[in-house]
Amino acid sequence: MKINRIFFVLVPVALYWYLMPALNVASGSNLKGFLTVLLWFAAFVLVSTFILKYKLLKSFFDPVGFNMIKILIFVNLVNVLRGLIETNVPITTALGNPFTALSLFSPLAVVFSVVNNSFNILIRFLLILSFIGTVLVLISFFIGSGVQSNDVSAGWELLYPAVFLIGFFPLLTRFEKASIFVSIIMLFGYIGLIIGSRATIIRTFLLYVSRFFTATSNRIMAKIFYPVIVILILLFAYDSFISPMFEKQSFLQSSQLFIIEKFGNTSPSNAIIYKSDTRTFLYKEVLEDLILSENLIFGKGSSGTYFSEYFQTTGDDTDTRLTVEVGILALILKGGVISFVLNLLILLYASYIALVRFRGNEILNWIGFFLLIHILLLFVENLISFNLYNLCLWIFIGFCLNKKFLSSFLEKHDLL
């Protein structure tokens, strides 16, 4: 029996992100080298599959979307080469860090939208992974130190992909629905509320709300939710990206300080400042660095770095940083405004196809909302790396651009 190539990508990546924190793998160790080889093996499978299936992609994909994907892949490959030639970082870091060269291979995952049975395999794989992650997290609570704000077990790396399954409830059994619901509650309650991940709170809440609106028979509600997401994206873009360039604080940061003054407690134990962190300083530091170095348009390549005065002062991290915790800043750092615009156009176009051209199909509409919510959270988090989240994201984009998949999906799952 021939094994679907998608396994040779998803399994090595899942192993890497689970074993790295689980075994506390040291940088430069033999185990770290082995796990990095696994990631490059997955990247090789991506590249080879893309080349083998190129004619199918050209035939099945929406022409506009396919051309944008080709341009983005070309830009990313150029930035990988720039990252190897123009960088001052060690070659082991340039090639061995999932946030550098490897991160720019993720868009190639669109190819799995034309590989036979990949949709069903992906759903099954994510179901199994989230179930294993849930069990591992529960075990860590019972045998570990319990629920503590500084205790994030490796199981969470396997649990997080459950967010991709919220919109597929019509295709799942009762047990599978219950399993995903438990996984999402754990993500929302622990990573969101206890750890203080604003992005997780926003993501899980909006994905469930979008699931409700796409499933409801009241289409007026769905029409209301679409512009709400678009308005939120514009507000986040202004408050995070534009406002900090002209004002000392963004609106969210001003709100954070108001909360702190109101309650009169800035101690880390209550974590008010932790949970309200807007990362506004990252926008100022990254954009100022790129403007001063004249790299704003094309970026600095896959191994590009920026100087952080904040981390130099606090000592929480190195002051010369390879990546940024905010997605759009990471895109601009590596590939400039060109890369950011290309990624944004592809996401918007894929969501347009899912939401407008296939209006009324609740699963495809939910995928469209998923992509819009991803855009929204690019202004807050959504790290650009070679991980399960980004690979699944690009597979979803591929499904939206694949005309043959969409037509066959409607025949099998006509949920109007």
Least confident of 26-40, 81-95, 273-287: 273-287
Amino acid identity for residue 303 in this structure: S
372-394 mean pLDDT: 91
Spatial contact of 387 and 101, defined as CB atoms under 8 Å apart: no
Buried b / exposed e over 31-54, threshold 16 CB at 10 Å, is ebeebbebbbebbebbeebbeebe
Give the pLDDT of residue 313: 78
Taken as a whole, the chain contains a residue count of 416
Residue 365 has pLDDT above 80, yes or no: yes
Least confident of 64-78, 213-227, 396-410: 213-227
Categorize the per-residue pLDDT at 219 as very low, low, confident or very high, splitting at 50, 70 and 90. Answer: low
Is 250 within the bounds of a domain?
A: no
Residue 233 has pLDDT above 70, yes or no: no
Residue 73 has pLDDT above 80, yes or no: yes
Q: What is the pLDDT of residues 100-127, one digit of tens each?
A: 999 999 999 999 999 888 899 999 999 9
Is 301 within the bounds of a domain?
A: no
Amino acid identity for residue 17 in this structure: W
Amino acid identity for residue 300 in this structure: K
Give the pLDDT of residue 264: 41
Is 45 within the bounds of a domain?
A: yes
Tokens (6 digits) for 39:
């990631």
Least confident of 77-86, 258-267, 285-294: 258-267
Is 2 within the bounds of a domain?
A: no
SS3 label, residue 264: coil
Is 292 within the bounds of a domain?
A: no
Residue 225 has pLDDT above 80, yes or no: no
Report which of residues 55 and 263 the model is more confident about. 55
Is 90 within the bounds of a domain?
A: yes
187-191 mean pLDDT: 81
Buried b / exposed e over 375-412, threshold 16 CB at 10 Å, is bbbbbbbbbbbbbbbbbbbbbbbbbbbbeebbeebeee
Residues 6+ apart with CB under 8 A from 330: 99, 103, 323, 324, 383, 384
Cα pseudo-dihedral 199, 141, 158, 161, rounded to 10: -40
Residue 193 has pLDDT above 90, yes or no: no
Tokens (6 digits) for 52:
């083998």
The share of the chain scoring above pLDDT 90, in percent, equals 41
Q: How many CB atoms lie within 10 A of CB 120?
A: 11
Structural domain count, the chain: 1
Greatest mean pLDDT among 42-51, 143-152, 243-252 lies in 42-51
Give the pLDDT of residue 237: 62
Q: Where are the alpha helices (DSSP H) in 86-218?
A: 91-96, 118-143, 155-159, 174-186, 198-215
Categorize the per-residue pLDDT at 410 as very low, low, confident or very high, splitting at 50, 70 and 90. Answer: confident
Q: What is the mean pLDDT of the chain?
A: 82
Give the pLDDT of residue 153: 59
Residue in 212, 139, 123, 210 with CA at minimum distance from that of residue 172:
123
Residue 220 has pLDDT above 70, yes or no: no
Q: How far is 342 from 72, CA to CA, in rounded Å?
A: 6
Is 265 within the bounds of a domain?
A: no
SS3 label, residue 154: coil
Residue 388 has pLDDT above 90, yes or no: yes
Residues 6+ apart with CB under 8 A from 355: 226, 365, 368, 369, 372
Q: What is the pLDDT of residues 321-357, one digit of tens each?
A: 888 988 999 999 999 999 999 999 999 999 999 988 8
Residue 176 has pLDDT above 70, yes or no: yes
Give the pLDDT of residue 265: 41
Tokens (6 digits) for 336:
């400039």
Spatial contact of 4 and 49, defined as CB atoms under 8 Å apart: no
- Residue 406 phi/psi, 5-degree rounding, is -60, -45
Categorize the per-residue pLDDT at 150 as very low, low, confident or very high, splitting at 50, 70 and 90. Answer: very low
Spatial contact of 331 and 107, defined as CB atoms under 8 Å apart: no
Give the pLDDT of residue 308: 84
Least confident of 47-56, 163-172, 185-194, 276-285: 276-285
Q: How far is CA 29 from CA 26, 34, 93, 249, in A?
A: 6, 9, 13, 42
Report which of residues 257 and 408 the model is more confident about. 408
Report which of residues 24 and 73 the model is more confident about. 73
Categorize the per-residue pLDDT at 256 as very low, low, confident or very high, splitting at 50, 70 and 90. Answer: very low
Q: How far is 367 from 406, CA to CA, in rounded Å?
A: 12
Give the pLDDT of residue 236: 62
Is 284 within the bounds of a domain?
A: no
Q: How far is 141 from 20, CA to CA, in rounded Å?
A: 19
Residue whose structure tokens are 């019972």: 142
Residue 401 has pLDDT above 80, yes or no: yes
Range of the domain at 147: 7-235+323-412
Give the pLDDT of residue 273: 33
Give the pLDDT of residue 190: 77
Residue 318 has pLDDT above 80, yes or no: no
Amino acid identity for residue 413 in this structure: H
- Residue 321 phi/psi, 5-degree rounding, is -110, 140
Tokens (6 digits) for 104:
């720019």
Spatial contact of 160 and 168, defined as CB atoms under 8 Å apart: no
Q: How far is 97 from 91, CA to CA, in rounded Å?
A: 10
Determine which helix (DSSP H) or strand (DSSP E) holds 306, and give its type and residue range: strand 306-307
